[in-house]
Structure 1
Amino acid sequence: MGTDLTTSTAVGWEQRPWVADPDHAALPARIAGLDLPLPSDLAAETEEATAAVVRFDAELSHALLGLTGEIAPLDAVLLRTESASSSQIEHITAGARALALATLGERTRPNAALVAANVRAMGAAPRLAAELDEAALLAAHRALMDGQEHARPGAYRDVQGWIGGGAPTPHTAHFVPPHPERLPADMDDLFAYLRRTDVPALVQAAIAHAQFETIHPFADGNGRTGRVLVHAVLHRAGTITRMGVPLSAGLLTDMAGYFDALTAYRDGDPAPIVSRFAQAALAAVGNGRQLVTDLDEVLTGWRERLTARRDAAVWRALAVIIAQPAVTVDHLAQVLGVSRPASQRAVDQLVEVGALQPLNAQRRNRVWLATEVLACLDEFAARAGRRG
């Protein structure tokens, strides 16, 4: 490849002036030619986890059978759960109802709007998977941080940042990423690593994520953008075909282990972050599979109670309310491509079988909730350790 092989991910350090006092900023290791032989047990662990993810991704193609229309409800559900979990890692929480309302465009808590933005950012991951270049990464960050000018959406940071410590200078910080002037070279090295095809996908995703978090190229949104990058790597490799496989929910099962693994990576030992990602993948598959089972039970109950004609709009509406468990009559009419009276009939039929309940008593622009779906999503979050 024309790239010198390296064997360590340990950062170096250089002196930089903060106000009147010198301190240090990280010099991330070059990883474009990283040679990382894994211990046999860790190699087996990553292979097992990768196989589990591939199987789960394939299972999703056959899940929730019997739905009609062109909507892929599980893709939307998993995209939302993954975005919520990724946000929770950054202490941004939103329950399923608040997130559904925010996605519908209803007013809700600010955190729900931030998680909804993460859904949009995760939706940008297919382009990132196709390109794995700077323009695609910046586009994902722009989608995530749109409207938050402090984060310079779609642009690298132009000031020094640091992680933790709670002080106006980095003297007590947990970690000080590289100086802004070093970001172009650091990111070029990362993209060179991402272009390699000789690294197992899950290993490459873990190393790329850890290196991205070490470089910390953005003023805000690094963690969430870095987890979009993970999905892009796995998608490009063919390990997943859906961006919503809930890997961040797997990371939530051991947050202390995740952060300890990032620290170990920066100290020169990448094995813990690879192991943590393998464990997260296995946990994500188990949790995701339970979510699919729960949603299938809900859908079966609705179908058994519905007595409408087989060509009625309500049958197609089932997929809509699984994918978006907060709807209005107008929203449903638009998505289904039917008249407002036809949409109202579908809502009435869904209310009759217990699939929808009104959010409030208002008559105009009333919002309807699929509370059984919301309960499934909140149970998924509870299993992952997310609270909101």
Structure 2
Amino acid sequence: MTTTGATPVANDWPAHTFDVRPWRQSSPRGPRVDRLRREVTVALPPLIAELDYPMDRSLGAMVAACAGDLGHLDLVHGRTLAALNHLQLRTEAVDSSKIENVDASLADYGRALLGVGANASAVSMASATAALSRMIRDADTTRRLSPEAMLQAHHDLFRRNADEAHRAGRFRTTQNWVGGSDYAPRGALHVPPPPETVPDYLDDLFAFCNRDDLPPVVQVAIAHAQFESIHPFIDGNGRIGRTLIHAILRRRRATRHLTVPIASALVSHRDTYFAALNDYRSGNARTIVAMMATAIRIATAESWATATNVLAIRDRWGAALPDARPGDSLFRLLDLLAEEPILNVDLAARRLGLDEDAASQAMDAATTAGVLTRARRTRKAPVWLAHDVLDEVEDLSARIQASARQLRG
């Protein structure tokens, strides 16, 4: 039995339809009403591989303007300021995790990146960074979006999670749902399509992602919303779905070097973001397209400020260590710290091509000058922090969120 979903006033996209399927709870736990449930109503997204999205004039102008701003930032700073991309990438991974209520301090996050011990939330955030990096790198290299790259990214996201490692890098083979009961899809906010339909839906989605005839901002908004509707994993759909945004932007060459922290704008309006995804399911894609364009525009504008601030920080460090000369180990360490504000001797030695004694000497000099600070509670595995850059990472996220709230306030 199939019925058509509710149609909103501004219907500009095929709405999801719904189908009633047999259901039996696999777990003996949970309330009796869940155990007795025998049916579930699943949402069936439209197939979108060949669909076009007609924009009205105002939305078209918004999409074109944000794409132009993004391209300009990438052109001016992308090639020459590698530190900016590293900071953006980590800001994006951190705030994408926060949307899923995963949070940790930047210091713990840095320790997790170094693999020297951190709490579970920090490890999860570090894993999200690895997943995001992989998806972007693969799209940049192959100029294609593929299920294989997505599965590798999902594996990166969960391989260090003891509870989910057995499902890392695997599409779901069981029914899942969003919200409601933990044991059955009673009261669920969204019930994705049945597991046997996921491969065909993903084939359709990747065909859409690999098109070149759509504005990139429209393409990423719709692809992201479609992915979230398919919900092809048991866990991690939100974070992998947001990596898809950046992978498409890189494949389309809307960005060539940078990863603007779009999630930082979305995290400030989680409810509005989730409502935009629900609008998409109801047949209104405009909400998510407009929200994505706005998020990109805000993240791009604040990233300009961060580029200026990073250059100023590097100048201050140079003034604090006037004996550092281009090409020597201390000078190169200062350049590295703009990209890697949390590091240990091993990382510094590997990245600078030094032995550990030489790397340690350079780090000691930077510590004496106040550029580096040794992190607390890291006696057994020492870690150093460049607080100037870490403060800028936090400030970039805060500025984007404040701008997003002000714009929507």
Same fold (TM over 0.5): yes
Measure the CA separation in 2 of the matches of 1:367 and 1:110. 18
Measure the CA separation in 2 of the matches of 1:273 and 1:328. 41
Deviation of 1:368 (Å): 1.7
CA distances 1:63-83 after superposition (whole Å, capped 9, x unpaired): 55xxxxxxx332222211111
Deviation of 1:252 (Å): 2.3
| 1:294 corresponding residue in structure 2 | 309
Distance 1:350 1:61, change over 3 A: same
Name the SS of the counterpart of 1:23 in structure 2: strand
* Mapping 1:1-388, distance limit 5 Å: 8-19=13-24, 20-61=37-78, 64=81, 72-125=82-135, 126-129=137-140, 130-148=143-161, 150=164, 152-242=167-257, 244-310=259-325, 311-360=327-376, 365-385=381-401
Deviation of 1:339 (Å): 2.2
Shifted more, 303-312 versus 223-232: the winner is 303-312
Letter in 2 for 1:150: E
Structure 2 residue runs of 5 or longer lacking an equivalent are: 1-11, 25-36, 403-409
Deviation of 1:361 (Å): 8.1
Deviation of 1:365 (Å): 4.6
Shifted more, 170-179 versus 20-29: the winner is 20-29
Are 1:356 and 1:370, in contact at CA under 8 Å, matched by a contact in 2? yes
Letter in 2 for 1:293: T
Could you list the structure 1 runs, at least 4 aligned residues long, displaced by more than 4 angstroms after superposition.
361-365
Deviation of 1:363 (Å): 6.5
Measure the CA separation in 2 of the matches of 1:205 and 1:365. 41
Letter in 2 for 1:228: T
Measure the CA separation in 1 of the matches of 2:246 and 2:295. 13
Name the SS of the counterpart of 1:131 in structure 2: coil
Measure the CA separation in 1 of the matches of 2:379 and 2:20. 64
Paired residue total: 374
Deviation of 1:362 (Å): 7.0
Distance 1:384 1:261, change over 3 A: same
Letter in 1 for 2:334: L
Measure the CA separation in 2 of the matches of 1:242 and 1:249. 19
Measure the CA separation in 2 of the matches of 1:244 and 1:192. 23
Are 1:329 and 1:365, in contact at CA under 8 Å, matched by a contact in 2? no
CA distances 1:16-67 after superposition (whole Å, capped 9, x unpaired): 1222422200111111121211111001100011111111112223655xxx
Deviation of 1:321 (Å): 1.7
Letter in 1 for 2:128: N
Name the SS of the counterpart of 1:15 in structure 2: strand
Distance 1:123 1:78, change over 3 A: same
Measure the CA separation in 2 of the matches of 1:364 and 1:190. 47
Measure the CA separation in 2 of the matches of 1:247 and 1:57. 15
Name the SS of the counterpart of 2:273 in structure 1: helix
CA distances 1:201-250 after superposition (whole Å, capped 9, x unpaired): 11001000000000000011111111111111111111001352212112
Measure the CA separation in 2 of the matches of 1:194 and 1:361. 45
CA distances 1:296-352 after superposition (whole Å, capped 9, x unpaired): 222111011212252420100012222222222233122211122321221122122
Are 1:150 and 1:219, in contact at CA under 8 Å, matched by a contact in 2? no
